[in-house]
Amino acid sequence: MLLAVFASWLAVQVAAAEARTPPPAASVEVTILAQNPTVARRRGSVLTVGRRTYRTIGCGNARPDDCIEYRLDAVFPGGIVGIEVTYYEGGGYLLTDGLTEIPVGERPLLSPDRRYLLAAHFAEAHVPSIGVTLIPVTPGESGDRLVPVRSISPAALVDYRDVRWLTPSCAGFLAADPRTGWGDEKVSRWYLVDARPEWRLTTVHDPACGAAD
Protein backbone atom coordinates (compact mmCIF):
# COMPACT_ATOMS: atom_id res chain seq x y z
CA MET A 1 0.00 0.00 0.00
CA LEU A 2 2.72 2.45 1.02
CA LEU A 3 4.71 1.49 -2.06
CA ALA A 4 1.75 2.31 -4.31
CA VAL A 5 1.21 5.67 -2.61
CA PHE A 6 4.90 6.52 -2.95
CA ALA A 7 4.89 5.54 -6.64
CA SER A 8 1.87 7.75 -7.26
CA TRP A 9 3.47 10.69 -5.43
CA LEU A 10 6.71 10.23 -7.39
CA ALA A 11 4.84 10.24 -10.71
CA VAL A 12 3.16 13.52 -9.80
CA GLN A 13 6.49 15.10 -8.86
CA VAL A 14 8.14 13.98 -12.09
CA ALA A 15 5.26 15.34 -14.17
CA ALA A 16 5.41 18.67 -12.35
CA ALA A 17 9.16 18.94 -12.82
CA GLU A 18 8.81 18.17 -16.52
CA ALA A 19 6.19 20.92 -16.89
CA ARG A 20 8.49 23.46 -15.21
CA THR A 21 11.60 22.49 -17.13
CA PRO A 22 11.79 23.47 -20.80
CA PRO A 23 13.36 21.10 -23.30
CA PRO A 24 16.86 21.94 -24.45
CA ALA A 25 16.41 24.98 -26.66
CA ALA A 26 18.90 26.37 -29.11
CA SER A 27 20.04 29.93 -28.65
CA VAL A 28 18.07 30.71 -31.83
CA GLU A 29 14.77 30.11 -30.05
CA VAL A 30 15.84 32.06 -26.98
CA THR A 31 16.76 35.04 -29.15
CA ILE A 32 13.54 34.89 -31.19
CA LEU A 33 11.38 34.71 -28.07
CA ALA A 34 13.15 37.72 -26.59
CA GLN A 35 12.74 39.74 -29.79
CA ASN A 36 9.13 38.69 -30.46
CA PRO A 37 7.34 38.41 -27.10
CA THR A 38 3.91 38.99 -28.66
CA VAL A 39 4.36 36.39 -31.40
CA ALA A 40 5.26 33.27 -29.41
CA ARG A 41 5.98 32.13 -25.87
CA ARG A 42 7.27 29.02 -24.15
CA ARG A 43 6.24 27.63 -20.81
CA GLY A 44 8.12 24.48 -19.94
CA SER A 45 7.61 21.92 -22.68
CA VAL A 46 4.83 23.90 -24.36
CA LEU A 47 5.45 26.36 -27.20
CA THR A 48 2.50 28.64 -27.96
CA VAL A 49 2.01 30.61 -31.18
CA GLY A 50 -1.26 32.49 -31.30
CA ARG A 51 -4.03 29.98 -30.72
CA ARG A 52 -1.84 26.98 -31.45
CA THR A 53 0.15 25.02 -28.90
CA TYR A 54 2.99 22.58 -29.49
CA ARG A 55 3.96 20.25 -26.67
CA THR A 56 7.34 18.55 -26.61
CA ILE A 57 7.27 14.91 -25.47
CA GLY A 58 10.66 13.69 -24.29
CA CYS A 59 11.84 10.23 -25.28
CA GLY A 60 12.55 9.40 -21.65
CA ASN A 61 8.85 9.48 -20.82
CA ALA A 62 7.32 8.01 -23.97
CA ARG A 63 7.62 5.34 -26.61
CA PRO A 64 10.09 6.23 -29.38
CA ASP A 65 7.25 6.69 -31.86
CA ASP A 66 5.66 9.29 -29.56
CA CYS A 67 8.81 11.39 -29.03
CA ILE A 68 8.57 14.84 -30.55
CA GLU A 69 10.26 18.18 -29.97
CA TYR A 70 9.11 21.58 -31.22
CA ARG A 71 11.61 24.42 -31.42
CA LEU A 72 10.99 27.96 -32.62
CA ASP A 73 13.26 28.57 -35.59
CA ALA A 74 12.23 31.76 -37.37
CA VAL A 75 9.75 34.61 -37.68
CA PHE A 76 9.21 35.51 -41.32
CA PRO A 77 7.67 38.70 -42.73
CA GLY A 78 3.93 38.84 -42.24
CA GLY A 79 4.20 37.23 -38.81
CA ILE A 80 4.58 33.70 -40.17
CA VAL A 81 6.41 31.53 -37.66
CA GLY A 82 8.72 28.65 -38.54
CA ILE A 83 8.96 25.72 -36.13
CA GLU A 84 11.55 22.97 -36.37
CA VAL A 85 10.16 19.53 -35.51
CA THR A 86 12.36 16.66 -34.34
CA TYR A 87 11.16 13.07 -34.06
CA TYR A 88 12.90 10.01 -32.63
CA GLU A 89 14.07 9.43 -36.19
CA GLY A 90 14.10 12.30 -38.65
CA GLY A 91 12.54 15.72 -38.54
CA GLY A 92 10.28 18.21 -40.27
CA TYR A 93 9.19 21.82 -40.33
CA LEU A 94 5.95 23.71 -39.69
CA LEU A 95 4.77 27.14 -40.79
CA THR A 96 2.03 28.77 -38.74
CA ASP A 97 0.42 32.15 -38.32
CA GLY A 98 -1.12 31.16 -35.00
CA LEU A 99 -4.39 30.08 -36.60
CA THR A 100 -3.51 27.71 -39.41
CA GLU A 101 -0.39 25.73 -40.22
CA ILE A 102 1.36 24.05 -43.13
CA PRO A 103 3.74 21.13 -42.55
CA VAL A 104 6.77 21.30 -44.85
CA GLY A 105 9.92 19.28 -45.14
CA GLU A 106 12.49 21.93 -44.44
CA ARG A 107 13.02 25.59 -43.65
CA PRO A 108 11.44 27.62 -46.47
CA LEU A 109 13.34 30.15 -48.52
CA LEU A 110 12.29 33.79 -48.44
CA SER A 111 12.20 35.47 -51.84
CA PRO A 112 14.67 38.30 -52.47
CA ASP A 113 11.81 40.83 -52.40
CA ARG A 114 10.48 39.28 -49.14
CA ARG A 115 7.04 38.58 -50.66
CA TYR A 116 6.99 34.78 -50.84
CA LEU A 117 8.20 31.65 -49.08
CA LEU A 118 9.30 28.70 -51.16
CA ALA A 119 8.97 25.37 -49.35
CA ALA A 120 9.88 21.82 -50.31
CA HIS A 121 7.31 19.36 -48.96
CA PHE A 122 8.11 15.91 -47.63
CA ALA A 123 5.82 12.90 -47.50
CA GLU A 124 7.27 12.04 -44.08
CA ALA A 125 9.97 13.42 -41.85
CA HIS A 126 12.84 11.41 -43.33
CA VAL A 127 11.98 10.75 -47.00
CA PRO A 128 12.65 12.79 -50.16
CA SER A 129 10.47 15.80 -50.84
CA ILE A 130 7.34 15.24 -52.91
CA GLY A 131 6.56 18.77 -53.97
CA VAL A 132 7.23 22.48 -53.84
CA THR A 133 4.83 25.12 -52.53
CA LEU A 134 4.85 28.89 -52.98
CA ILE A 135 3.32 30.80 -50.07
CA PRO A 136 2.68 34.58 -49.92
CA VAL A 137 3.74 36.21 -46.66
CA THR A 138 0.81 38.64 -46.67
CA PRO A 139 -2.90 37.74 -46.50
CA GLY A 140 -4.77 37.27 -49.75
CA GLU A 141 -7.78 39.24 -50.85
CA SER A 142 -10.00 37.06 -48.66
CA GLY A 143 -7.83 37.81 -45.63
CA ASP A 144 -6.76 34.18 -45.33
CA ARG A 145 -3.21 33.44 -44.27
CA LEU A 146 -0.85 30.65 -45.30
CA VAL A 147 -2.76 29.95 -48.49
CA PRO A 148 -0.36 28.70 -51.20
CA VAL A 149 -0.55 30.44 -54.55
CA ARG A 150 0.98 27.43 -56.27
CA SER A 151 1.68 23.84 -55.20
CA ILE A 152 3.74 21.58 -57.44
CA SER A 153 3.84 17.83 -57.28
CA PRO A 154 3.79 16.45 -60.82
CA ALA A 155 3.07 12.72 -60.70
CA ALA A 156 5.88 12.05 -63.15
CA LEU A 157 8.55 13.58 -60.93
CA VAL A 158 10.20 12.76 -57.61
CA ASP A 159 13.19 13.83 -55.52
CA TYR A 160 12.80 17.58 -55.68
CA ARG A 161 16.22 19.05 -54.96
CA ASP A 162 18.25 22.22 -55.26
CA VAL A 163 15.12 24.29 -54.60
CA ARG A 164 16.16 27.95 -54.70
CA TRP A 165 15.26 31.45 -55.72
CA LEU A 166 16.99 32.61 -58.90
CA THR A 167 15.45 36.11 -58.97
CA PRO A 168 12.52 37.76 -57.15
CA SER A 169 10.31 36.60 -60.03
CA CYS A 170 11.66 33.10 -60.54
CA ALA A 171 12.47 29.98 -58.53
CA GLY A 172 14.10 26.81 -59.77
CA PHE A 173 14.47 23.19 -58.74
CA LEU A 174 15.64 19.83 -60.02
CA ALA A 175 13.44 16.75 -60.30
CA ALA A 176 14.01 13.15 -61.39
CA ASP A 177 12.00 10.52 -63.23
CA PRO A 178 10.73 7.98 -60.63
CA ARG A 179 10.90 5.15 -63.15
CA THR A 180 14.66 5.33 -63.33
CA GLY A 181 15.69 6.82 -60.00
CA TRP A 182 18.03 9.71 -59.41
CA GLY A 183 20.74 10.18 -62.03
CA ASP A 184 22.28 13.09 -63.87
CA GLU A 185 21.05 11.87 -67.24
CA LYS A 186 17.45 11.77 -65.99
CA VAL A 187 17.38 15.02 -64.04
CA SER A 188 15.38 17.95 -65.36
CA ARG A 189 15.49 21.61 -64.34
CA TRP A 190 12.13 23.25 -63.66
CA TYR A 191 11.31 26.92 -63.29
CA LEU A 192 8.48 28.61 -61.42
CA VAL A 193 7.98 32.02 -63.03
CA ASP A 194 5.86 34.98 -61.94
CA ALA A 195 3.77 35.33 -65.12
CA ARG A 196 1.17 37.56 -63.55
CA PRO A 197 -1.56 37.05 -62.54
CA GLU A 198 -0.35 33.46 -62.00
CA TRP A 199 2.95 31.65 -61.47
CA ARG A 200 3.84 29.44 -64.42
CA LEU A 201 5.68 26.10 -64.20
CA THR A 202 7.98 25.34 -67.12
CA THR A 203 11.14 23.50 -68.14
CA VAL A 204 12.05 26.31 -70.54
CA HIS A 205 14.38 28.95 -69.15
CA ASP A 206 12.67 32.34 -68.90
CA PRO A 207 14.45 35.72 -69.06
CA ALA A 208 12.87 36.51 -65.68
CA CYS A 209 15.08 33.78 -64.20
CA GLY A 210 18.32 35.60 -64.98
CA ALA A 211 21.26 33.99 -66.77
CA ALA A 212 20.74 30.42 -67.94
CA ASP A 213 22.43 27.63 -65.98
Please indicate, yes or no, if residue 89 is contained in any of the structural domains: yes
Please indicate, yes or no, if residue 14 is contained in any of the structural domains: no
Tell me how crowded residue 4 is: count the other CB atoms within 10 A of its CB.
8
Domain count, the chain: 1
DSSP 53: E
pLDDT band at 5 (very low <50, low <70, confident <90, very high): very low
Please indicate, yes or no, if residue 9 is contained in any of the structural domains: no
Give the CB-side neighbour count of residue 79, counting CA atoms within 13 A.
13
Please indicate, yes or no, if residue 98 is contained in any of the structural domains: yes
- How far is 149 from 33, CA to CA, in rounded Å? 29
Looking at mean pLDDT, say which of 16-30, 36-50, 109-123, 124-138 comes out highest. 36-50
- State the pLDDT at residue 8: 54
pLDDT in tens, 182-196: 555 577 888 999 988
- pTM: predicted TM-score of the whole model, two decimal places: 0.74
Task: Supply the range of the domain harboring residue 158.
Answer: 23-209
- State the pLDDT at residue 124: 54
